[in-house]
Structure 1
Amino acid sequence: MLRDRTDSRAALWRTAAGQRGYFTAAQALEAGYSYQAQRYHAQHGNWLVIDRALYRFREFSDLPGEGDEQLVRWSLWSRGRAAVSHATALAVHDLGTANPSRIHLTVPRGFRQKSDAVILHRAELVDSDVEDRAGYRVTVPSRAIAECAADGDDQDVIDGAVAEALEQGVVTRRKLLYAAQSLGARAELGVERALGALS
């Protein structure tokens, strides 16, 4: 069934609006844009080409950003299989002083894509490990802290994140210890040290 151009744009716009203006070639195809039409819009500057088969409506690039637009982009790059994690998740939750130079993503073990712009961690996350944001998923604060401890991140970063998370009431000591135990001895040690520093 052929769609009217305005219907196609409206359908794609609705999808992109929930993803900060980003959309994939597959989503454009589903909205009614053939690959030839997609090429036309990209070549004429109607759509910004972000990556292979990844676009953004030009109008969204003119809006003031909330700082996490890149995370939506990487979620789409992973076809929704990645969750923002580790130090990047701490930054999303505004806990501590984590300021990673590259984006940390946790992906399933069989994930094959690669990029120098991201650091990939492989793990099978359960629903309680993640929360949904506008256009991407992120590990919950207790998991993010435990991930950083398991990776041997700077203890000062972990101490600050634990202190702020407890102060804000977004985690409990029990949840932190449970998350750390699930990631191993190194995570437990880092979290226990951070909790000990509060005494």
Structure 2
Amino acid sequence: MGAEPPIKPDWDQLYRVAEAQEGLFTTQQAAGAGYSPQLLAHYVRIGRASRVQRGIYRLVHFPAGEHEDLVAVWLWSEQAGTFSHQTALSLYDLSDVLPARIHLTLPESWRKRRLRVPKLVVLHYADLLDAERQWVGSVRVTSPSRTLNDCARSALTPDLMRQAARQALHRGMVRGSLSEVEEALKPFGGLGT
């Protein structure tokens, strides 16, 4: 009864993983493709990969991705996070919001963890339903209605809130009532038409 033989490094497998994540991969994903930490360090030294942050790497010759910074944050969250609030509004191109920080919602169970949160990341905690999440490119984002409700609860400025809600309704991104948005905008003249 011996130990299993080591997995042979499989560049194609590592590439497929990174390809779905805008050229990024984690130490664990590399290990799954047969790359030891020593071999990964060697690839960094010879310029085949670069270290983005602790435990997250990038294939150097992979084309730059539109949401690479967000994918790195998502990988930091062990793929448990969902982009939300103003970040989600921006990804959906709802309103003129230009978020200065990245908003990420993690499961409630993460609230107890001691985390070294990446710079410019704001954490929120909620156990999201599958219906409250969807993919925008290579990142998972709260649904438009969940995003609008989150923004209403977090007191997004009334003008941006109204603009985002109107655009979402006009583009058919939400159905039904936006009661939390309407309630938040009531003191400011409501949603309007």
Q: Could you say which TM-score interval applies, normalised by the shorter chain?
A: 0.7 to 0.9
What is the one-letter code of the residue matched to 2:46?
Answer: H
What is the distance in 1 between the residues matched to 2:186 and 2:43?
A: 54
Task: Please tell me whether the aligned partners of residues 166 and 173 of structure 1 are also in contact (alpha carbons under 8 angstroms).
Answer: no
Q: Which amino acid aligns with 1:144?
A: T
Partner of 1:184: none
Cα distance in 2 for partners of 1:70, 1:198 equals 36
Deviation at 1:64, TM superposition (A): 5.0
1:106-121 equivalences in 2 (<5 Å)? 106-111=105-110, 112=113, 113=115, 114-121=117-124
Q: How does 1:120-139 map to 2 (within 5 A)?
A: 120-139=123-142
**CA contact 1:162–1:195 (8 Å) conserved in 2:** no
- For each residue in 1:67-95, what CA deviation from the matched residue of structure 2 results, as whole angstroms up to 9, or x when unmatched? x2211111111001110000000000000
Distance, in Å, in 2 between the alignment partners of 1:50 and 1:153 is: 31
Equivalent of residue 146 in structure 1, options 143, 149, 153: 149
- Give the secondary structure class of the aligned counterpart of 2:78: coil
Over 3 Å counting, the alpha-carbon distance change for 1:9 and 1:194 in structure 2 is farther
In structure 1, runs of 5+ residues without a counterpart are: 181-186
Does the C-alpha gap of structure 1 residues 69 and 59 become closer, same or farther in structure 2, counting only changes over 3 Å? same
Counterpart amino acid of residue 102 in structure 1: R
Deviation of 1:123 after TM superposition, in Å, equals 1.0
Distance 1:196 1:53, change over 3 A: same
Q: Does 1:34 align with 2:36?
A: yes
Asked whether the 8 Å contact 1:42–1:48 carries over to 2, the reply is yes
Q: 1:105 to 1:194 in 2, by over 3 A?
A: farther
The answer for unaligned runs of 5 or more in structure 2 is none
Q: Matches of 1:164 and 1:194 in 2, distance apart?
A: 18
Separation in structure 1 between the aligned mates of residue 88 and residue 191 of structure 2, nearest angstrom: 22
Q: Residues 98, 193 of structure 1: CA spacing in aligned structure 2 closer, same or farther, 3 A cutoff?
A: farther
Contact 1:75 1:135 in 2 (8 A): no
User: TM-score, length-normalised on structure 1?
Assistant: 0.85
Tell me: CA distance 1:64–1:44, structure 2 relative to 1, closer, same or farther (3 Å): closer
Equivalent in the alignment of 1:183: none
Q: Is the 8 A contact 1:83 1:107 kept in 2?
A: yes
Q: Which residue does the alignment assign to 1:88?
A: 87
Counterpart of 1:198? 192
CA-based RMSD of the aligned residues comes to 2.0
Select which of 15, 18, 25 maps to 1:16: 18
Deviation at 1:109, TM superposition (A): 2.1
* Structure whose residues are more often helix by fraction: 1
CA drift at 1:132: 2.1
Can you list the C-alpha shifts for 1:95-117, whole angstroms capped at 9, x where unaligned? 01111101000011232322232
